[in-house]
Amino acid sequence: MSNEQENKIIELLEKIAANQELQLERQKNALEMQYKAVAMQEDSFARAERLQERAEAVQGNAGKILKFVFALVLLLMVLLATLFF
């Protein structure tokens, strides 16, 4: 094998190594982006859970208030009925 052929082989191997490094860097960047996307999804899911819990608490309180108002209206109707009859 001639010196020229050896130099070409070395040059090709160096190009292959450089391309592999570039590909690894791109894969690293892609993985970092995926990691960030997953982290954002986890945060979003946690916020959604907190909102759901708050909504359930509000619904529970609304039910209690509605029962209280219903009882109050019923009591007022009874009082009004006793005053007029």
For the chain, 85 residues long, give each residue's pLDDT as a single digit of tens: 799 999 999 999 999 999 999 999 999 999 999 999 999 999 999 999 999 999 999 999 999 999 999 999 999 999 999 988 7
pTM given for the model: 0.59
Smallest Cα–Cα separation from 56: which of 44, 48, 67?
Answer: 48
- DSSP, collapsed to helix, strand or coil, labels residue 85 as coil
**CA 26 to CA 15: how far, in whole Å?**
16
The 8-class DSSP code of residue 2 comes to -
The identity of residue 32, as a single letter, is E
Residue 1 DSSP one-character state = -
The tokens describing 75, both together, are 């009591």
Can you tell me which residue has the tokens 């292959």? 16
